[in-house]
Amino acid sequence: MVKYSSGKNEGIILRVNLKKSTVISTIIMFLFLIGCEPLAKDTMDFYKRTESVDLSGENINSISLNSTENDVINTFGKPTEIEEIEDPKSKYLSYDGVEFGFVEDKVIRLFIRRTHENSKIFETAKEIKTGDKKEQVIKEYGENYYERVESGLDTLGYFDKENMINIEFGFNESKVIAVIIKKIGWKEDN
């Protein structure tokens, strides 16, 4: 029930409240339009409440976290692209279907993705690959996962707290389109 009054002060209060709600609505709409996800959560927001799973066997063609740049080059050959970042100081070697991130010559991140239809297909230690369904990921990795939205993708992730490893699966229409395996705690997480 809305009460109307002819009092001068109540009209001023009503106009001020309308102005505040208009400003708030405009800010929310602006954030939505520019793609900002103000309610999005970072990976580490889920760390404490997600139970640990064993991810110690994760590797791509024998390359795992802490492998060296030479190990990667000896296994995969010359990269198709090399990118060096200043802050945080890191280096990325890209190949068809996979990318490796390095800090101080050690792999800190492995990234599986399909860059085109004919990309090589790589698997996780539990044989999950691009194109697999979300249900298959949960069947292989278990129920101790978290969910979030990252860059518009539904994302499901697991932590290995003993070995400080995080794995995330990005989905489009409930099918895996990307997998990231990374070391927990390097500067990107902070």
Amino acid in the structure at residue 96: D
Percent of the chain with pLDDT over 90: 65
List the structure tokens of 73.
């080059």
- Mean pLDDT across the chain: 83
98 and 20 in a common domain:
no
10 and 100 in a common domain:
no
92 and 158 in a common domain:
yes
145 and 83 in a common domain:
yes
Radius of gyration for the chain, computed over Cα atoms and rounded to the nearest angstrom:
23
Compute the distance between CA of residue 59 and CA of residue 152 in angstroms, rounded to an integer.
26
DSSP codes, 36-74: --TT---GGGGTTTSPB---TT--BTTB-TT-BHHHHHH
121 and 98 in a common domain:
yes
- Residue 48's nearest CA partner among 187, 144, 138 is 144
Q: Domain range spanning residue 8? A: 1-39
The 10s digit of each residue's pLDDT in 28-74 is: 444 443 344 444 578 899 999 999 999 999 999 999 999 999 999 99
How many CB atoms lie under 10 A from the CB of residue 162? 11
Question: To 10 degrees, the CA torsion angle through 8, 13, 18, 21?
Answer: 180
The 10s digit of each residue's pLDDT in 134-174 is: 999 999 999 999 999 988 899 999 999 999 999 999 999 99
The terminus-to-terminus CA distance of the chain in angstroms comes to 49
21 and 93 in a common domain:
no
List the structure tokens of 24.
């708030």
30 and 52 in a common domain:
no
pLDDT of residue 11: 53
What is residue 174's three-state secondary structure? coil
54 and 7 in a common domain:
no
Number of domains in the chain: 2
Contact status, residue 63 vs residue 107, Cβ threshold 8 Å: yes
Compute the distance between CA of residue 69 and CA of residue 100 in angstroms, rounded to an integer.
9
